[in-house]
Amino acid sequence: MYYGICWLCALLAGGQLIEATTKAHRSYRDDAHPGKCTLNETVILSPGESEISTEFCGRYDCLNREGVVEIAICGIHRPSEGCEWGDPKDENAPYPKCCERYQICA
């Protein structure tokens, strides 16, 4: 069973974020919970169920009985020319609203 999301850290460090979605798939299979997606000891999802992450701006979707999870996170995009991304508009908002950022233009 995998709990870490270090690969997300590397992905997020590569660029600026806005509200578009990037998705990845990962196995969260645990023999102790057959037919479920086991994110950790307390978050166990059935196929079709979702969970908003409390660790980062994203959502977990349990896809099947083999424990495959689709992880949706904020996409990586460049700001408009002559602009840069500022702070998140509301980093405590649930996904995907937590992806929205202010754009600062000169």
CA distance linking residue 56 with residue 94, whole number of Å? 10
Between 62 and 8, the higher pLDDT residue: 62
Cα Rg for the chain, rounded, in angstroms? 16
Residues 6 or more apart whose Cβ sits within 8 Å of residue 35: 46, 47, 65
At residue 100, what are phi and psi to the nearest 5 degrees?
A: -65, 135
**Quick one: pLDDT at residue 18?**
43
pLDDT at 20: 55
Residue indicated by tokens 């509301």? 90
State how far the Cα of 78 lies from the Cα of 26, in Å rounded to an integer. Answer: 26
- List, for residues 24-55, the tens digit of each pLDDT value: 999 999 999 999 999 999 999 999 999 999 99
- pTM score of the predicted model: 0.74
Residue 1 clears pLDDT 60, i.e. is over it: no
What does pLDDT average to over the chain?
84
